[in-house]
Structure 1
Amino acid sequence: MLLDLKPITQHQDKMIPDHILNRKGARSFKDLNPEVIDYLNNGLIETANLMEWLAVDQLKLLKIILDELDKSDWYDNFYEAVSNQKKPSANSNTKVIGMTFAQLTYDTAIIDYLANHTSDVPRCWAAQYYAAIDMSITERLHTIKPYAADSHFGVREVAIFSAKEYIIQDLDQAVMILSNWTRDTNENIRRYAVEATRPVGVWTKKIDVLKESPERAMDILEPLKSDTSKYVKDSVGNWLNDASKTRPDWVIKVCNRWQSDSATKDTAYIIKKALRTIKK
């Protein structure tokens, strides 16, 4: 029986040198610091940027975490699942590991352990775990919301990956739920509502329905037309730019109306970003 599932790395930041904690992420693989990689692979720190996230040896980190959980006998299941992929990648490894946890356990204490780990990578596994669990879109978005609010960029992106397919399958219900998220005080939550429904997006499945009928997501976009957060503004602008590639007429109409209804610098910023493809 697991008596204490609090991640043992949670309070070890005092032991980590300042030059590690305050580093800037490497710009290329050749610039990666072996000392940093060692900390990352041992789950003692978060990744600082995408380059570090891609460099983490997820199986090595997993082995350490399974030892912490007293579940080292599970390792071969994960190793086989990761190794059997035709085209493995950091993103696919995250998904496969999350799905394998779903096959091996329904113990929420174990998933909570991952979800609260110091390392962002186990938190990504936890987000992908829920992608493999059968639930309604309402339950799914409620469950993924803490990951959408996570302080780490990688966890927030995986929260999108893990829910996107289900959002597409039940689009109108998802839009209704996510439209309520646009009023959240957390900019990460507001941004998620937009980014998770982008017609094209980055590294995620396209939403063909919204490419042709972007107006179906207007309840998400409209409340954010003058949001003060750059993180949110960028997402709204990118959403509209996605739509402009198939429905330029609609995007122009929305931007013209917003320009008239909301003469703020925030709205102007979004409009400029939204029209960048049209005005090329």
Structure 2
Amino acid sequence: MAEPLKAIYNEAFLTAFAERVRRQWAAFDADRFCESVLGDGWESLELKGRIRRIARSLGAALPAEYPAALAILEEIADECRGFPYLFFPEFVACYGLNDWDRSIRALERFTALSSAEFAVRPFIRRDPERMMAQMRKWAGHPDEHVRRLASEGCRPRLPWAEALPEFRRDPEPIIPILDRLKADPSAYVRKSVANNLNDISKDHPQRVLELAKMWYGRNERTDSVLRHGLRSLIRRAAHPEALALFGLSPDAGLSVEVETWDARPRELAIGGSVAVRYAVRHRGEEAAKLRLELAVDYPRAGGRSFRKLFKLAERTVEGGGRLAGERRHAFADLSTRRHLPGVHKLALLVNGREAAAVDVILSREGTEA
């Protein structure tokens, strides 16, 4: 079973980091810092809780004056790159809200070393107009990491992040940033723009469709952003306008006959995989563009479930034509998705409509069938 992501913050990591700080600032009490981090309740903390604990423990062990403490972190920042060092921008969010200019410069630097998407949100909540003006400036920054921050940091539904209910009610402050970045040369940035659009579409589908109609067909990069950004409207809602934008008719699914939809084995252990086989025939007379997707319903505690979709194929099929293939789907635990034993529904979607389904059963021990 995959180790949870939060496990990166172990005693060895913390000790090595504390020594790095102590080399920069001799008065740093490395033992006190580690004891504070690993104290009561540490084992029960999830990833974000651990990041916050480390940032707070740094605040207690570094100089009391924020500028002096931040300067120490800035001196060692180039040695602290990658996901584990998300507690650098978290430190800024915890202690720097009243030192705006210094904190903004620090976030701009730290985001290129790890990511500051979570840390900018308290600044947005504190002063939305001022912070969004800053993020519009960041949208024109030469560093792709900073440009991505401009989009990612203001996503209305950013996972694991502090909520921004004002942007769920009214996303208009976000639109100029997305407009500027919609054809960005960096795929890293464009993916964030698409995810932001997808967030907005869940509360304001018509606004996103308006933008899509204005932007589509002018730039290949933007078209790709829109295809990904409208995925919830296409997949979950089978929204006719969204489908039509990409040449997908919801009615085409009605003329499709499912010849094969199967998954083997039907019983397996968590960590295993199934082979999914599909074949459909288009019974209409005219050619139609078909998008086939695998929808997996993952059970959750309390009897709920979560559906995730995986693209199988997208192709124009002539009248009477056939579309078939096979893919493997893994049920391995990930840092972002843990599997529970039980029935998992695997459905075939044709242009957003469910056309067939089979169940597979996951167990902790597993029985291959």
Asked whether the two chains share a fold, i.e. TM above 0.5, the reply is yes
Call closer, same or farther: CA 1:54–1:257 in 2, change over 3 Å: farther
Q: 1:166 is matched by which residue type in structure 2? A: F
Structure 2 SS opposite 1:161: coil
Paired residues of 2:9 and 2:84 also in contact (CA < 8 A): no
1:143 and 1:210 map into 2 onto residues whose CA distance is 25
Q: 1:99 is matched by which residue type in structure 2? A: R
Q: 1:250 is matched by which residue type in structure 2? A: R
Q: Give 1:237 shift.
A: 0.6
Task: Give per-residue Cα distances to partners, 1:194-242, cap 9 Å, x unaligned.
Answer: 0000000121122111112111212211111211211111100100100
Q: Give 1:249 shift.
A: 1.0
Q: 2:228 is matched by which residue type in structure 1? A: K
User: Partner of 2:226 in structure 1?
Assistant: 271
User: Partner of 1:5 in structure 2?
Assistant: none
User: Partner of 1:124 in structure 2?
Assistant: 86
2:72 and 2:84 map into 1 onto residues whose CA distance is 11
Q: Give 1:112 shift.
A: 2.6
- Where structure 2 has 5 or more consecutive residues not aligned to the other structure, the ranges are 236-369
Structure 2 SS opposite 1:237: helix
Q: Give 1:171 shift.
A: 1.6
Does 1:160 find its partner at 2:117?
Answer: yes
Does 1:80 find its partner at 2:36?
Answer: yes
- Where structure 1 has 5 or more consecutive residues not aligned to the other structure, the ranges are 1-26, 30-49
The root-mean-square deviation of aligned C-alpha atoms, in Å, is 2.7
Paired residues of 1:190 and 1:232 also in contact (CA < 8 A): yes
2:105 and 2:28 map into 1 onto residues whose CA distance is 31
Paired residues of 1:99 and 1:131 also in contact (CA < 8 A): no
Bigger radius of gyration, 1 or 2?
2
Q: 1:145 is matched by which residue type in structure 2? A: E
Structure 2 counterparts to residues 4-43 of structure 1, below 5 A? 28-29=2-3
2:21 and 2:112 map into 1 onto residues whose CA distance is 26
User: Partner of 2:14 in structure 1?
Assistant: 59
Query: Relative to total residues, which structure has the larger strand share, 1 or 2?
Result: 2
2:81 and 2:137 map into 1 onto residues whose CA distance is 30
Deviating beyond 6 angstroms after TM superposition, the runs of 4 or more aligned structure 1 residues are none
- 1:248 corresponds to which of 205, 211, 233: 205
User: Partner of 1:147 in structure 2?
Assistant: 110
Task: Indicate the percent of aligned positions where both proteins have the same amino acid.
Answer: 20
Q: 1:264 is matched by which residue type in structure 2? A: N
Call closer, same or farther: CA 1:190–1:54 in 2, change over 3 Å: farther
Q: 1:235 is matched by which residue type in structure 2? A: S
Call closer, same or farther: CA 1:91–1:98 in 2, change over 3 Å: same
Call closer, same or farther: CA 1:121–1:206 in 2, change over 3 Å: closer
Q: Give 1:119 shift.
A: 5.4
Q: 1:28 is matched by which residue type in structure 2? A: A
Paired residues of 1:182 and 1:193 also in contact (CA < 8 A): yes
Structure 2 SS opposite 1:279: helix
- 1:111 corresponds to which of 50, 54, 73: 73
User: Partner of 1:92 in structure 2?
Assistant: 49
Call closer, same or farther: CA 1:173–1:100 in 2, change over 3 Å: same
2:7 and 2:149 map into 1 onto residues whose CA distance is 22
Aligned residues: 225
Q: 1:124 is matched by which residue type in structure 2? A: L
Call closer, same or farther: CA 1:119–1:266 in 2, change over 3 Å: closer
Q: 1:132 is matched by which residue type in structure 2? A: C
Does 1:195 find its partner at 2:152?
Answer: yes
- TM-score w.r.t. the length of structure 2 is 0.55
Call closer, same or farther: CA 1:75–1:66 in 2, change over 3 Å: farther
